[in-house]
């Protein structure tokens, strides 16, 4: 969350040649007017002066220097970690600015994330080194600022270990940068902690703990005044007190305020309040810190699951990595907004940020849109993982050396910086200290009995633990520990977390929970998360009845959700994964990422999304999926003539990727077609060209999938379903040959703030305007100079063309173009053409007034 803070100071702030008013913001956007140069991977010892004038190019932040590179099969050695894009190099960023401070002011530079191993310099003076690419950090600029002269801020990014995570990381200053100017007596960066210890419908107690730093050489008497405002700007509570802050010290002030009849923050109504904390000295205000916060209560119970604001509910979560597909890891807020809205529409109410802390901007959206968030700190601790897979590193490579090299020295600092920066987000309801860490401690995997056990030959995913609780205990006693013990490290991380915040539980994603429960790892956790181990839910609840357990990484399949709905003591799950992500490749070239997402790279929902939507939403929903019988997972039962699964039990152990189906009605006349319906309707009647093919009920299907065998006949396939007395109809219409491309845009008006984003979807259509999903064509986009082209994609995992091109072959007849505003304003036209087909265009209005309500309607021809 950005802390928008204002301070009235007589100071002239200049960067570049532009001045700002004398009344400046405490926190200012520092993303613009940067220059960037990329040096070779062997220039690790380079200095700023080694970069020639010709190597610099103008950039704006956030910036990922990798995503514009080509996908190339030559990068196969480290493809699982890079998505076939080479991203190695030494990146240099620099920005010149003027900043004239008074003698009573300080200035800080705040980075929300730099990937990675960054060194920051001001006027040649090194401010510090920060190795972790996912934690925020800041430096004090004050000692090295030049008065009435240009200053040069430089950032060196060492991405020579370019395959240091198991997924695509990107590289560069890929998150926001802010300049913070304060008085010497001020609230430090991240210096406010707001919680709601008592919440009811009648009233809420709001606790505000504020740090105050006195950089003066004399003691200061200060009045700390906090005002609480509702979302419509109404003052609902205020509290004030005086405090003596000694010279050169930082002190904390605790305040409590009461909000009568509060508007609670929840997943359906994410109401936010605003807290304004002001420092007043000698009747003059010298600092003001503004934070959004939410009034809400969370509770976990080992027998009955999760409660939000006293209401029992299931956590309907997905895991998300930090890349945004075609934009790489420098993801504009509007790109995340569109993606999160797709998940929200599918019934999702929670996000696990895997496997590292997210950006504050992402968390802002979760606050605003109503998502619960599990914020995860680390993917590896004392020992490295194999970046090609997931387990203990099998081979040593300089390219894959990662955070384990820095964990001993930096883990506490990084963990606490993340918590300080993120703790006021009401969306965060769990802190996760790690992901599938057990793989890197062989003692744990061996003690489970699943591995190195010649007497066991079961399937790890679906077999219950081959060793009893007592046998696991004895194995842990017998097998020697390594230099670092998983339980000792986990206890240390949990301790640090609770030092910072006791209002949220500590969890971890445990891949071997039967053994982890028996170590200080499991004992240190408030919630033990089970990774792909739903078959152990009953085992865990029986043997550890006082421990909260839940799914924290599971398959987006019906069997996973059924296991949770059948067990009140399981609070919910996080499916792997919500959206496709780059890297962690398990398929041969040309595959650029992991295809397990419920939503594809371009933000289009996939069949698994449609199934989960029927489980997670109450509104009637039906999706028609078709496939030739020969290619389908179904067969015609000889006795009944009905369509049934070839393997009636296969659904119980379905893994990450959905089976191959289409969402069209275009086949060969008379060809037998497998028709599947994913629906939450109690009954459905299927029609082909208005002729009934029979009525069936959902109760007939153990796998929650309606099935019909239908000889293909050109025309209309429709499903009429009923749920709770409500009738709904879903159709597929045979499409003709494509005759045109049709454009749709998610917004028709942008501000020229250089942040706003518009998504343009191009779809092939036939003469009647029906979408054509079985034919592909190359679409060419024409984009005016008033817009920044962020890239194109069609959503397919096998699309490996460079995203910066302005043409792309469709997948399922469609493609996505992402555009961003520039500083220019006016009305512009975006056009799409396809050889031999009619073109289309949409109009965009780019103006100064971002809050204007009247949208311009796009003209579609």
Consecutive H or E run containing 474: helix 469-478
- Are 742 and 860 in contact by the 8 Å Cβ rule? The answer is yes
Per-residue pLDDT, 24: 56
Query: Model pTM greater than 0.85?
Result: yes
Per-residue pLDDT, 7: 31
Instruction: Give the C-alpha separation, 483 to 354, whole Å.
Output: 27
Instruction: Give the C-alpha separation, 96 to 696, whole Å.
Output: 70
Band (851; pLDDT cuts 50, 70, 90): very low
- Are 580 and 600 in contact by the 8 Å Cβ rule? The answer is yes
3-state secondary structure 122-155: ECCEEEEEECCCCCCEEEECHHHCCCCCCEEEEE
Percent of the chain at pLDDT exceeding 90:
92
Sign of CA dihedral 55, 59, 65, 70: negative
Phi, psi of 711 (to 5 degrees): -65, 130
Residue 306: C-alpha distances to residues 15, 303, 316, 504 (Å): 49, 9, 11, 12
- Are 623 and 607 in contact by the 8 Å Cβ rule? The answer is yes
Question: How confident is the model over 567-581, as a mean pLDDT?
Answer: 98
Band (395; pLDDT cuts 50, 70, 90): confident
Consecutive H or E run containing 395: none
Task: Tally Cβ neighbours within 10 Å of residue 142.
Answer: 17
Per-residue pLDDT, 853: 38
Residue 278, strand partner residues: 225, 288
Label the pairing between strands 151-158 and 18-19: unpaired
Band (339; pLDDT cuts 50, 70, 90): very high
Which tens digit of pLDDT belongs to each residue from 120-142? 999 999 999 999 999 999 999 99
pLDDT of 396 strictly over 60: yes
Instruction: Give the C-alpha separation, 855 to 750, whole Å.
Output: 10
Band (12; pLDDT cuts 50, 70, 90): very low
DSSP tag of 699: G
Question: How confident is the model over 800-816, as a mean pLDDT?
Answer: 97
Which tens digit of pLDDT belongs to each residue from 168-188? 999 999 999 999 999 999 999
pLDDT of 857 strictly over 70: no
Which tens digit of pLDDT belongs to each residue from 349-377? 999 999 999 999 999 999 999 999 999 99
Label the pairing between strands 840-847 and 749-751: parallel
DSSP tag of 117: S
Instruction: Give the C-alpha separation, 607 to 613, whole Å.
Output: 10
Residue 643, strand partner residues: 636
Which tens digit of pLDDT belongs to each residue from 579-628? 999 999 988 999 999 999 999 999 999 999 999 999 999 999 999 999 99
Sign of CA dihedral 476, 478, 482, 485: positive
- Are 677 and 705 in contact by the 8 Å Cβ rule? The answer is yes
- Are 362 and 336 in contact by the 8 Å Cβ rule? The answer is yes
Tokens representing 541 are 């609840």
Band (389; pLDDT cuts 50, 70, 90): confident
Could you write out the DSSP letters of every residue in 3-65? ---B------EEETTEE--SS-BSEEE--SSEEEEEE-TT-TT--GGGS-GGG-EEE-SS--S
Question: How confident is the model over 110-121, as a mean pLDDT?
Answer: 98
pLDDT of 858 strictly over 70: no
Q: Which of 498, 491, 497, 493 is nearest to 522 (CA)?
A: 491
Q: Where are the alpha helices (DSSP H) in 63-201?
A: 79-82
Question: How confident is the model over 635-659, as a mean pLDDT?
Answer: 96
Band (452; pLDDT cuts 50, 70, 90): confident
Q: Which of 87, 66, 69, 89 is nearest to 78 (CA)?
A: 87
Could you write out the DSSP letters of every residue in 397-414? -GGG--GGGTHHHHHHHH
User: Cα 608 to the chain's mean position, in Å?
Assistant: 19
User: Cα 716 to the chain's mean position, in Å?
Assistant: 39
Q: Identify which has the larger pLDDT, 403 or 860.
A: 403
- Are 257 and 208 in contact by the 8 Å Cβ rule? The answer is yes
- Are 848 and 825 in contact by the 8 Å Cβ rule? The answer is yes
Question: How confident is the model over 842-858, as a mean pLDDT?
Answer: 60
Residue with tokens 């709601």: 196
- Are 271 and 238 in contact by the 8 Å Cβ rule? The answer is no
Consecutive H or E run containing 352: strand 350-353
Phi, psi of 696 (to 5 degrees): -135, 160
Instruction: Give the C-alpha separation, 596 to 579, whole Å.
Output: 8
Contacts of 778 (CB under 8 A, 6+ apart): 807, 808, 809, 810, 834, 835
Determine the number of helices (DSSP H) and then strands (DSSP E) in the chain.
12, 51
Instruction: Give the C-alpha separation, 744 to 5, whole Å.
Output: 38
């Amino acid at each position: 969350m950005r802390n928008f803070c204002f301070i009235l100071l007589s100071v002239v702030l200049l960067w570049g040649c532009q001045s700002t008013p004398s009344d400046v913001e405490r926190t200012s956007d520092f993303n613009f007017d940067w220059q960037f140069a990329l040096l070779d991977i062997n220039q690790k010892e380079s200095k700023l002066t080694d970069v020639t004038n010709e190597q610099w190019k103008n950039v704006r932040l956030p910036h990922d220097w990798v995503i514009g590179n080509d996908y190339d099969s030559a990068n196969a050695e480290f493809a699982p970690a890079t998505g076939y894009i080479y991203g190695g190099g030494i990146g240099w960023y620099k920005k010149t600015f003027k900043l004239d401070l008074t003698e009573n002011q300080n200035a800080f530079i705040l980075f929300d994330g730099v990937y990675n191993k960054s060194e920051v310099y001001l006027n040649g003076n090194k401010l510090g080194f920060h190795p972790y690419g996912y934690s925020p950090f800041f430096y004090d600029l004050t000692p090295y600022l030049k008065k009435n002269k240009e200053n040069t801020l430089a950032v060196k990014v060492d991405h020579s270990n370019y395959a240091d995570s198991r997924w695509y990381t990107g590289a560069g200053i890929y998150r926001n940068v802010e300049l913070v100017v304060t008085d010497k007596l001020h609230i430090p960066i991240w210096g406010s902690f707001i919680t709601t210890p008592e919440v009811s419908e009648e009233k809420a107690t709001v606790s505000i703990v504020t740090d105050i730093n006195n950089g003066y050489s004399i003691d200061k008497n200060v009045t700390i005044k906090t005002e609480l405002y509702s979302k419509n700007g109404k003052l609902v509570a205020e509290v004030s007190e005086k405090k003596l802050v000694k010279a050169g010290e930082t002190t904390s002030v605790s305040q409590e305020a009461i909000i009568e009849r509060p508007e609670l923050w929840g997943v359906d109504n994410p109401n936010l309040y605003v807290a304004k904390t002001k420092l007043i000295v000698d009747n003059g205000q010298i600092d003001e810190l503004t934070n959004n916060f939410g009034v809400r209560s969370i509770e976990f119970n080992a027998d009955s699951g999760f409660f939000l604001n006293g209401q029992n509910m299931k956590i309907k979560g997905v895991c998300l990595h930090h890349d945004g597909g075609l934009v790489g890891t420098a993801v504009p807020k509007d790109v995340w907004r569109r993606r999160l809205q797709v998940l929200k529409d599918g019934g999702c109410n929670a996000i696990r940020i895997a496997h590292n802390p997210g950006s504050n901007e992402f968390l802002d959206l979760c606050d605003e849109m109503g998502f619960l968030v599990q914020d995860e700190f680390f993917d590896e601790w004392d020992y490295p993982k194999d970046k090609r897979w997931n387990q203990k590193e099998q081979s040593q490579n300089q390219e894959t050396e990662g955070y384990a090299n820095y964990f001993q020295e930096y883990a506490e600092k990084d963990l606490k910086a993340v918590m300080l920066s993120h703790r006021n987000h009401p969306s965060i309801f769990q802190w996760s200290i790690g992901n599938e860490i057990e793989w890197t401690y062989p003692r744990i995997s061996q003690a489970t009995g699943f591995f190195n056990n010649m007497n066991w030959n079961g399937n790890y995913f679906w077999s219950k633990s081959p060793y009893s609780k007592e046998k696991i205990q004895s194995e842990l006693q017998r097998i020697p520990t390594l230099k670092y013990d998983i339980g000792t490290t986990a206890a240390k991380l949990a301790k640090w977390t609770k030092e910072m915040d006791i209002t949220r539980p500590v969890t971890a994603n445990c891949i071997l929970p039967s053994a982890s429960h028996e170590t200080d790892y499991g004992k240190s956790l408030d919630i033990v998360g089970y990774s792909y181990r739903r078959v152990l839910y009953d085992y865990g609840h029986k043997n550890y009845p006082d421990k909260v357990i839940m799914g924290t990484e599971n398959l987006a399949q019906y069997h996973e959700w059924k296991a949770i709905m059948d067990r009140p003591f399981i609070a919910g799950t996080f499916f792997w994964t919500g959206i496709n992500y780059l890297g962690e490749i398990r398929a041969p070239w040309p595959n650029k990422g992991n295809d397990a997402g419920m939503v594809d790279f371009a933000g289009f929902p996939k069949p698994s999304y449609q199934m989960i939507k029927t489980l997670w939403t109450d509104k009637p929903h039906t999706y028609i999926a078709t496939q030739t019988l020969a290619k389908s997972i179904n067969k015609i039962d000889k006795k009944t003539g009905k369509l049934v699964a070839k393997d009636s039990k296969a659904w119980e152990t379905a893994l990450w990727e959905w089976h191959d189906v289409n969402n069209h009605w275009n086949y060969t006349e008379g060809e037998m077609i497998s028709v599947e319906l994913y629906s939450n309707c109690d009954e459905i009647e299927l029609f082909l060209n208005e002729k009934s093919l029979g009525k069936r009920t959902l109760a007939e299907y153990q796998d929650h999938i309606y099935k019909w065998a239908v000889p293909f006949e050109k025309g209309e396939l429709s499903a009429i379903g009923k749920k709770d007395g409500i009738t709904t109809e879903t159709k597929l219409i045979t499409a003709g040959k494509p005759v045109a491309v049709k454009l749709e845009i998610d917004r028709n008006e942008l501000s020229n703030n250089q942040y706003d984003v518009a998504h343009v979807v191009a779809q092939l259509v036939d003469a009647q305007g029906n979408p054509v999903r079985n034919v592909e064509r190359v679409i060419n986009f024409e984009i005016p100079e008033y817009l920044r082209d962020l890239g194109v994609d069609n959503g397919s995992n096998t699309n490996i063309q460079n995203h910066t091109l302005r043409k792309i072959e469709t997948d399922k007849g469609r493609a996505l173009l992402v555009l961003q505003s520039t500083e220019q304003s006016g009305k512009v036209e975006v056009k799409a053409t396809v050889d031999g087909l009619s073109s289309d265009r949409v109009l965009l209005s780019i103006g100064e007034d971002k809050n204007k309500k009247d949208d311009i309607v796009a003209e579609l021809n």
